[in-house]
Structure 1
């Protein structure tokens, strides 16, 4: 679990996963400075905001909210709801404040139906690379249902690649990590999809909530996780600003290069003050060394 103490977790993961991941993926060992202090950092261009966090502010002032995120230092956004704007219109606003959309959450039903072509066109208009399935219908939460979804994911992912975009990504929730009839549902998607067509936007909060270990997924399935939802967990299990909760992000991110992570997207499902959450989370990620 990612909620154990920093020292215990670092010792365990460093010994059992970190070296193996680095060697297996052909990566250099973690650089250090001074007396063993970690000095790897998240690239500034990789720190983004998933816009679901900012939905109440966006509904009031879409352009102003994006401008404020850019002023804080954010480089990218994940789109989740357009608030009455077209894809072209959002792109113009983003370009104006020097933000880049990297992905958009699009419903499973839209992507598996006749709306797929338009959704991919809109991704081009946004300047984004990845279509993301934000969740699966509850009726599919069985091994058979997830195998059906895996087949659909491969088909959608192929269409995305043929359209000149990136792989289809899947965003997880806690229930996606359930074990049903002896089968881990999330693992069905990881193992039964084509790595060239399907990747994952791993929500680290929901992974931990579902008793999964993000770091071990990065090590065991290299290159499958180009984007993360970076969300922290308070001591009572609720959501927290990144860096203020219990999750050991440094230990998780130790294996991010092996996992193929390129985007670290901040998310908080119910922030009391979304701008404070955005500022606090950005400062933590920008200062983090691991």
Structure 2
């Protein structure tokens, strides 16, 4: 009798952490929000849009546009609402032509990270393009770190997963950039869409990934290496093709610091609350 009791207790103790991984306790905090999700609203009224996002319980922002404001004006609006900007997204020309302005704006906003989400290119992304990208990224990252104390991140967009050697050109970029100066923001849709495995990449590169875009791909949609798809193929988290629990477990293990909801669709009024509810369902 005693043996069966001890056996049962042991089984329960062993099962608890497995349950925690498979069920709740996967995503205990609120995510942040990418400003692009509310781009149309931000273009009309920045303050009111921040109020809308704050009402959802979200206080962490990744801005990829100042929406006609100065960095100082935007920071004031955030401070007034108890919100913050942890990541500042810019275009490639901003980094090549006015990186000091980028650094100053990011510092004013209170951001820790500067992110770029697209490498200008025509046609297929090539090894020569990847080599130039590596050189650029190392320089961008060094300038931003040494002059402003900021961490530079590249947000993958799908086209970088062209086959190369035993991996892809994305692997080439990660492996040839300096970890001291170059980190990454995984967009999980734009990792899955070209045929890569978000979990495998998180396990492979660990803390090179500092940031993450949370989004889901409509069921039945076939991916490719174009780096583009219909915006309405973005669906509420947990309703599409991606294995969110597995990805989030791997992201925690990798040490991802900030998570942001990004929904490019025209249905954010219904889909964003649905996505937040889904993430809350993964709490302990």
TM-score bracket for the superposition, by shorter chain length:
0.7 to 0.9
Q: Deviations over 1:157-181 (max 9, x none)?
A: 1111113433210111121212258
TM-score after normalising by structure 2: 0.84
- Are 1:199 and 2:193 an aligned pair? no
Q: Deviations over 1:126-152 (max 9, x none)?
A: 111111111001148211111111111
Distance 1:277 1:54 in 2: 12
Distance 2:188 2:20 in 1: 30
- Are 1:69 and 2:63 an aligned pair? no
| 2:256 counterpart residue number | 261
| 1:251 counterpart residue number | 246
Any conservation in 1 of the 2:95–2:140 contact (CA below 8 Å)? yes
Distance 1:35 1:109 in 2: 45
| 1:130 counterpart residue number | 113
How many residues end up aligned between the 2 structures?
A: 259
Distance 2:148 2:217 in 1: 37
After superposition, where does 1:1-290 map in structure 2 within 5 Å? 32=17, 38-44=23-29, 47-113=31-97, 115-139=98-122, 141-179=125-163, 184-237=168-221, 238-272=233-267, 274-289=268-283
| 1:13 counterpart residue number | none
Check 1:179–1:275 CA distance in 2 against 1; reply closer, same or farther (3 A cut): same
1:99 Cα deviation (Å)?
A: 1.5
Any conservation in 2 of the 1:41–1:286 contact (CA below 8 Å)? no
| 1:11 counterpart residue number | none
Any conservation in 1 of the 2:217–2:234 contact (CA below 8 Å)? yes
Distance 1:117 1:101 in 2: 18
Distance 1:225 1:35 in 2: 24
Any conservation in 1 of the 2:28–2:283 contact (CA below 8 Å)? no
The structure with more radius of gyration = 2
Distance 1:254 1:35 in 2: 10
Distance 1:159 1:255 in 2: 30
SS of 1:65's equivalent in the other structure is helix
TM-score after normalising by structure 1: 0.82
